[in-house]
Amino acid sequence: MSDARVIKAGCILALAGLLAAGAAPALALKDPTRPPDAQPAKAHKAAARKALRWTLGSTLVSPRRRTAVINGRLVGVGETINGARVVEILPSQVRLRREGRDITLVLLKQDVKRPSRHGSGKP
């Protein structure tokens, strides 16, 4: 083989190697033992606090039963919601217990407009 052919073959092999090396990262496999990308600590704590929120929607207190709607779910005394146990249901509040701590949920008062004492209430 002549020197020119050897050099030409060497250049082609070198070029092929460079092209393959450039494509190698795109074809590299991900490490299955690598943990998933973690969120920053602040975002994780905020998500944990959000998960432990309870919103009292309504209560029903009658001689036969006491129920409440918390986070859109109907619950009774003794049931658990988001890790807290329902301890007491009153007409305008619900008491929960989680990890030995009491949490009181209160229904917001509705601002109901009333007609004035002097007018008929009609526009």
pLDDT digits (tens, 9 = 90+) for 8-26: 666 566 666 655 665 555 5
pLDDT of residue 32: 73
Reported pTM: 0.49
Q: How confident is the model at residue 108 (pLDDT cuts 50, 70, 90)?
A: confident
Share of the chain above pLDDT 90, in %: 43
pLDDT (mean) for 51-61: 86
Closest C-alpha among 90, 67, 63 to residue 79 = 67
CATH number for the segment(s) 53-106: 2.30.30
Question: Using CA atoms, how far apart are residues 13 and 103, in angstroms rounded to an integer?
Answer: 72
Q: Residue ranges of the domains in the chain?
A: 1-28, 53-106
